[in-house]
Amino acid sequence: MAIFDLFKSANTEDEFVTLLRPYVEGMYRLAYRFCGSREDAEDLVQDLLVKLFPRINELRSIDNLQSWLATVLYRQFVDRTRHRNRSPVQLTEDGETFPVTKDYMALQPEMQILNDEAVDQVQQALLRLNEDQRILVILHDVEGYKLTEIQDMLDIPIGTLKSRLYRAREQLKKLLC
């Protein structure tokens, strides 16, 4: 994976690497869920890391770095999406599924097949939600951010987030049935 190569080749004592290494896998997972493809997720995270590198002093002073990184990643995703939507050239989706984890490998072969199908179904349904609904479901239900954290990330009142999350879940249920 290209984004992890950046850290492997860097000096392990480098403060930037030490500071961000614990968050890279989570950022990639979140980016993948936003983008729906491995390549786009890798590009998104790599671009973010390149932008953050000169801001190491600012990164040191952030209290909740994980939430801050998720917020910045989301904004980077929105900016890329807007830029892509303005572009006259559109790329097609490849329908790729999320990479497997060690827990996944412990499943029986029959269960792995069922799990693959379920993961693919949910991923496809998430991609069919509108962008606002998809982002909210991913942040809250998939990644586990609290509504107060999402409120800070998206700058949307809690009541509005609750109603949007309810509608997004209802839409997701319809897509999965």
pLDDT tens, per residue, the chain with 177 residues: 455 555 544 443 478 888 899 999 999 999 998 888 899 999 999 999 989 888 888 888 898 899 999 999 988 988 887 776 664 444 444 444 444 444 544 555 555 555 567 777 888 888 888 988 988 988 888 888 889 989 988 889 999 999 999 999 999 889 988
Question: Domain boundaries in the chain?
Answer: 1-91, 100-177
> Would you say domain 1-91 falls under CATH 2.60.40?
no
So what's the pLDDT on residue 163?
A: 94
So what's the pLDDT on residue 23?
A: 93
Tokens representing residue 160 in the block? 């509005």
Residue 165 contacts residue 137 (beta carbons within 8 Å) = yes
Q: What is the dihedral of CA 50, 82, 42, 154, to 10 degrees?
A: 80
Decide if 1-91 and 100-177 have a common fold.
no
| CATH architecture of the domain formed by 100-177 | Orthogonal Bundle (1.10)
Tokens representing residue 83 in the block? 């830029």
Count of other CB atoms within 10 angstroms of residue 56: 13
Task: Write the CA distances from 72 to 31, 128, 154, integer angstroms.
Answer: 11, 24, 10
Residue 45 contacts residue 3 (beta carbons within 8 Å) = yes
Q: Give the whole-angstrom CA distance, residue 21 versus residue 107.
A: 29
